[in-house]
């Protein structure tokens, strides 16, 4: 048995033995607290939602063997990015989020919120995980399927809500990390109260040289470590404005720079945001929530074409400026009516504008073409929901959402830089769509410990400006945009059960989804030579274009177990089985598996926490094989890794910690290019550091 399999078995056996030992314990049982979550848009107790929901509390976050939010979320079954690589080394445009096997891509098929503000990139919907500092996180809520339907756009798979700690009076914390690969980070948070106003300032810096992402036996002289560095600064204010109202304001700046594995391949992002919200509770029992935000950012990325032996590279694409802006606002109302009804309604809107400015077609030492493309999107949504409780054991949820979506001022222009001739000057007609998405849910409390639930729902996702207008390149593979893409539409059903014992909880969910018009990177041809619509494709490279698949079916089974023995020991296990299949499509795709979706995803975790003795966590993760491409010709193998964390207090408010990711240094694949170049995941990674809270 391999070391990975052995340790996974030990973790599972240890966790199960802790759970079975509960029956023999004569000490007072530990009662798991009921949690209120807001990721479903209307705040409800965790045990009342007709949907599978995972909550990670502050204690779990602090002792997780992870340095970034995406690594933290990998313990949640079904969470994945477009690539298996960590955000510390992956290109930003590959960090789109998928839940429940809906097919990861550069664009997320799940909505990610940071203190209520969308974290999805306004231009491409990928997620900049370095904007989220683990040191500031207080809780993470992951709602799958129909539980996220009220949020509208982007929520095909669900919602991930990242909640940071509110400022505390005369509080200060500092944490630092150092590790191999020249990895390091420093985070701080300070808070105080000025009269009735709470003020908080937090910031962080992280850097890593990273590691070579090309498999060792394929590397040439141009291959080097892929690394990154980022800085973030955030101001938070809160104050009451009446006896029943609270006002919140947050603003921040963020910057990230990356080396993408060769001397020429680099990118950077700069962003700023301001957001605010107000909560008001009336004497009649109504709760009003008002929120708004403004975001602005710039992004640039340089791509190269490598020689077959990877000992030389030449420029291929210079996306020198990709500005994007976004603004949004919402009004939400909810109110209990008697003891049997909870009503909620709201309206939200979002505006996005962005473009891609780039040089391409590198010939005889210089770029010969310039391209500019972009547009604006507006979205407006109305929703209403009722939770009806006719009996303490029965709960019905019925709701719906109506959305209007519009693309406007869209264009694509291309110019010959040698002679100034205009090669293309297209202005695209405005496009409008209207969608209605209903939702129905049921929860039945069969016994004091067992609840049954089910839901029917529909949701949608509009194509991003990036998918509509921005081509991109990964090594020698080119993917062309498509301004004619239609919105994705999902119809889903799920059924599940929740079992709650004083120190054990179990959740099992089966789900069925059909997605119409899924945006997909469809292979058009192979280089070398001219391949429409990509133009010239290098030797071994592929030309793909974003197109809509007529129908995709995704079915799966999701399970989570959590147990506790006494106040110190906890264990958890999560499993997702997914069968994602293309049902109807043009060409040879019908019956193919959806790329980037493993059939099996297993996570195991055993943790110990004691105020005086310290804490440790051992965690195992397994993912089965998956296909890289639409034709199912390139397969990524299965992998399993084990991570470890240990900490010990050394003084009041101060602890030191040590952690290892990929403890047994397992080599695993994260991507394969059309010419067979294999990208690999992180090797064994050590980090040590301290945390201080005053």
Query: Rounded to an integer, what distance in angstroms lies between the CA atom of residue 140 and that of residue 55?
Result: 6
Predicted pLDDT of residue 29? 40
Predicted pLDDT of residue 321? 92
Name the residue among 550, 544, 538, 583 with its Cα closest to residue 675: 538
Q: Is the dihedral of CA 505, 509, 515, 519 positive or negative?
A: positive
Predicted pLDDT of residue 42? 73
Q: Is residue 403 within 8 Å of residue 152, measured between CB atoms?
A: yes
Predicted pLDDT of residue 22? 35
> Could you say which residues of the chain have pLDDT below 70?
1-37, 44-48, 104, 475
CA distances from 172 to 190, 191, 202, 329, 659 (A): 4, 6, 10, 32, 24
Query: Rounded to an integer, what distance in angstroms lies between the CA atom of residue 606 and that of residue 570?
Result: 6
Q: What is the pLDDT of residues 407-420, one digit of tens each?
A: 999 999 999 999 99
SS3 state at 15: helix
Name the residue among 303, 252, 246, 259 with its Cα closest to residue 132: 252
Name the residue among 360, 414, 419, 369 with its Cα closest to residue 538: 360
Query: Rounded to an integer, what distance in angstroms lies between the CA atom of residue 561 and that of residue 570?
Result: 11
Q: CA-based Rg of the chain, rounded to a whole angstrom?
A: 25
Predicted pLDDT of residue 447? 94
SS3 content of the chain, % helix, strand, coil (to 5): 10, 60, 30
Predicted pLDDT of residue 104? 67
| Residues whose CB is less than 8 angstroms from the CB of residue 322 and which lie 6 or more positions away in sequence, other chains included | 123, 298, 299, 300, 301, 354, 355, 356, 357, 470
DSSP E strand boundaries for 282-430: 287-306, 313-321, 324-337, 341-363, 366-391, 394-416, 422-428
Domains and CATH numbers, the chain: 3-273+287-693 (2.40.170.20)
Query: Rounded to an integer, what distance in angstroms lies between the CA atom of residue 265 and that of residue 15?
Result: 45
Q: Which residues does residue 642 pair with via DSSP β-bridges, in sequence order?
A: 620
Neighbours of 196 (CB within 10 A): 9
Q: Is residue 375 within 8 Å of residue 411, measured between CB atoms?
A: yes
Q: Is residue 472 within 8 Å of residue 93, measured between CB atoms?
A: yes
User: Which tokens belong to 374?
Assistant: 């972009």
User: Which tokens belong to 501?
Assistant: 């014992």
């Amino acid at each position: 048995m391999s070391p990975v399999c052995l340790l996974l078995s030990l973790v599972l056996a240890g966790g199960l033995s802790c759970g079975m030992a509960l029956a023999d314990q004569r000490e007072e049982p530990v009662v798991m607290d009921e949690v209120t979550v807001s990721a479903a848009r209307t705040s409800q107790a965790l045990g009342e939602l007709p949907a599978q929901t995972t909550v990670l509390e502050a204690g779990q976050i602090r002792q997780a063997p992870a340095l970034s939010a995406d690594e933290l979320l990998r313990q949640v079954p079904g969470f994945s990015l477009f690539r298996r690589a960590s955000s510390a080394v992956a290109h930003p445009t590959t960090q789109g989020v998928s839940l429940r096997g809906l097919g990861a891509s550069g664009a997320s098929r799940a909505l990610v919120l940071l203190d209520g503000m969308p974290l999805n990139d306004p231009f491409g919907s990928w997620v900049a995980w370095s904007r989220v500092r683990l040191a500031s996180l207080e809780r993470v809520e992951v709602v799958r399927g129909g539980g996220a339907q009220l949020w509208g756009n982007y929520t095909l798979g669900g919602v991930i809500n990242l909640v940071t700690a509110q400022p505390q009076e005369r509080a200060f914390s500092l944490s630092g990390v150092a590790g191999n690969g020249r990895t390091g980070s420093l985070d701080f948070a300070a808070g105080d109260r000025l009269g009735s106003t709470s003020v908080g300032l937090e910031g962080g810096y992280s850097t890593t040289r990273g590691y070579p992402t090309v498999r060792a036996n394929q590397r040439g002289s141009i291959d080097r470590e892929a690394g990154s560095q980022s800085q973030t600064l955030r101001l938070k204010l809160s104050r009451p404005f009446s006896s029943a109202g609270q006002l919140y304001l947050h603003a921040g700046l963020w910057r990230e720079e990356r080396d993408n594995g060769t001397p020429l391949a680099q990118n950077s992002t700069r962003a700023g945001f301001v957001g605010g919200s107000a909560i008001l509770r009336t004497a009649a029992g109504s709760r009003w929530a008002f929120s708004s935000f403004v975001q602005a950012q710039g992004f640039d990325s340089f791509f190269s074409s490598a020689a077959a032996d990877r000992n030389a590279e030449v420029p291929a694409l210079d996306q020198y400026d990709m500005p994007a802006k976004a603004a949004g606002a919402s009004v939400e109302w909810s109110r209990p009516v008697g003891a049997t009804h909870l009503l909620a309604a709201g309206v939200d809107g979002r505006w996005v504008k962005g473009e891609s400015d780039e040089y391409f077609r590198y010939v005889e030492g210089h770029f010969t073409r310039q391209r500019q493309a972009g547009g604006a999107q507006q979205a407006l949504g109305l929703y209403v929901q009722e939770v009806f409780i006719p009996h303490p054991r029965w709960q019905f949820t019925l709701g719906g959402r109506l959305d209007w979506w519009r693309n406007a001022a869209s264009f694509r222009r291309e110019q010959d830089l040698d002679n100034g001739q205009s090669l293309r000057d297209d202005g695209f007609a405005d496009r409008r769509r209207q969608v209605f998405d209903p939702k129905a849910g049921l929860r039945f409390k069969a016994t004091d410990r067992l609840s049954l639930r089910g839901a029917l729902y529909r949701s949608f996702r509009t194509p991003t400006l990036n998918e509509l207008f921005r081509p991109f390149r990964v090594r020698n593979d080119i993917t062309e945009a498509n301004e004619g893409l239609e919105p994705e539409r999902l119809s889903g059903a799920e059924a599940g059960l929740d079992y709650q014992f004083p120190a054990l909880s179990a959740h099992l969910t089966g789900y069925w989804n059909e997605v119409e018009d899924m945006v997909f990177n469809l292979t058009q041809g192979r280089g070398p030579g001219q391949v429409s619509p990509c133009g010239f494709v290098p030797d071994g490279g592929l030309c793909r274009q974003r197109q809509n698949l007529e129908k995709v079916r995704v079915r799966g089974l999701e399970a989570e177990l959590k147990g506790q023995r006494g106040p110190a020991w906890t264990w958890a296990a999560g499993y997702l089985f997914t069968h994602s299949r293309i049902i109807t499509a043009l060409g040879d795709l019908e019956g193919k598996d959806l790329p980037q979706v493993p059939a099996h995803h297993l996570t195991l975790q055993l943790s110990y926490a004691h105020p005086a003795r310290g804490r440790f966590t051992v965690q195992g993760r397994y993912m089965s094989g998956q296909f890289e491409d639409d034709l199912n010709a390139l397969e990524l193998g299965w992998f399993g890794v084990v991570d470890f964390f240990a900490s010990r207090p050394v003084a009041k408010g101060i602890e030191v910690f040590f952690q290892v990711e990929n403890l047994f240094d397992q080599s695993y694949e994260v991507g394969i290019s059309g010419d067979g170049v294999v990208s690999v995941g992180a090797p064994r990674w050590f980090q040590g550091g301290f945390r201080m809270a005053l």
